[in-house]
Amino acid sequence: MIIETFITTIFQQNTRVLACEDTRRAVCIDPGAAADTIAEFINVNNLNLQAITLTHAHLDHIGGVSDLHKIFPQAEIILHKDDEVLYYNLPAQPLLMGIPRGELKALGLEYETPPTLTRNWRDGEIYAVGNLRFKILHCPGHAPGHVILAEENLRKVFSGDCLFAGSIGRTDLPGGDYEQLINSITDKILPLGDDLIVYTGHGEDTTIERERTTNPFLTGYQITQGKFA
Ligand SMILES: [Fe+2]
Going residue by residue through the chain, which has 229 residues, state the pLDDT in tens, using 9 for 90 and above: 999 999 998 899 999 999 999 999 999 999 999 999 999 999 999 999 999 999 999 999 999 999 999 999 999 999 999 999 999 999 999 998 889 999 999 988 999 999 999 999 999 999 999 999 999 999 999 999 999 999 999 999 999 999 999 999 999 998 999 999 999 999 999 999 999 999 999 999 999 999 999 999 998 766 666 655 4
147 Cα–ligand 1 center, Å: 11
220 Cα–ligand 1 center, Å: 23
Residue 157: what pLDDT? Answer: 98
65 Cα–ligand 1 center, Å: 15
β-pair partners for 28: 17, 52
- Dihedral (CA of 71, 73, 78, 84) sign: positive
**CA 140, CA 39: separation in Å to the nearest integer?**
30
213 Cα–ligand 1 center, Å: 24
Residue 226: what pLDDT? Answer: 60
182 Cα–ligand 1 center, Å: 15
Residue 108: what pLDDT? Answer: 87
CA 191 to chain CA centroid, Å, is 19
- Dihedral (CA of 221, 224, 225, 229) sign: positive
101 Cα–ligand 1 center, Å: 21
Contacting residues for 107 by C-beta, under 8 A, at least 6 apart? 10, 94, 99
Residue 227: what pLDDT? Answer: 58
201 Cα–ligand 1 center, Å: 8
Residue 138: what pLDDT? Answer: 98
Residue 211: what pLDDT? Answer: 97
224 Cα–ligand 1 center, Å: 27
Residue 229: what pLDDT? Answer: 44
